[in-house]
Amino acid sequence: MKISKAARIADSARKSIGRYCHSECNAYCCRKGFLMLTAKQAKLVAGEKLNELLKSKGLTPVANGKYVLELAVTCPSLINSKCRIHSHPQRPLTCREFPLSIEGKVIWLSGSCPAVRAQMMYPYLAKLRLMGYKIKNL
């Protein structure tokens, strides 16, 4: 499967903050962040609490059948600020894509990510803007 130029830029942006994530913010996204999920992933992750999360706004529909899930508790895969499933091939797509995901010509950024707030991805986002992508914050 051929990866698009935008996807390569997004991957580079994510890799550029890897050390920062582990050493500086201590995986804040896995402790108190937000995840972009498909409807199927939202049902899987939320389980019986799906309706409760929707009512409480812990799970919010955003666009194109996607949802944002607020992590109110630490992810069970996080041990000492390090993800134990980070290299696993079945790691959820939303985790692999965090803190930015591509939906058509829109780049969704997680405003809860300290690296995003510090504008550490600016050079990559500038390239994506030049390619016609819109940048939106969650």
> Which tens digit of pLDDT belongs to each residue from 72-126?
767 767 778 788 778 877 777 878 888 999 999 999 998 888 999 999 999 999 9
Mean pLDDT of the chain: 84
CA angle 16, 120, 107 (to 5 degrees): 85
Q: What is the pLDDT of residue 109?
A: 93
Question: What predicted TM-score, i.e. pTM, was given to this entire model?
Answer: 0.71
Residues 6+ apart with CB under 8 A from 80: none
Output 49 or 109, whichever has higher pLDDT: 109
Give the tokens for residue 44. 């899987």
| Residue 20 reports pLDDT greater than 70 | yes
Distance CA 20, CA 99 (A): 13
Higher pLDDT, 30 or 100: 100
Q: Which residues contact 30 (CB under 8 A, 6 or more apart)?
A: 71, 74, 75, 77, 78, 83
CA separation for the pair 13, 129 (Å, rounded): 14
Identify any residues that bridge with 108 across adjacent strands, giving them in sequence order: 101, 136
pLDDT of residue 71: 75
CA distance linking residue 80 with residue 23, whole number of Å: 11
Q: Are residues 123 and 8 in contact, defined by beta-carbon separation less than 8 angstroms?
A: no
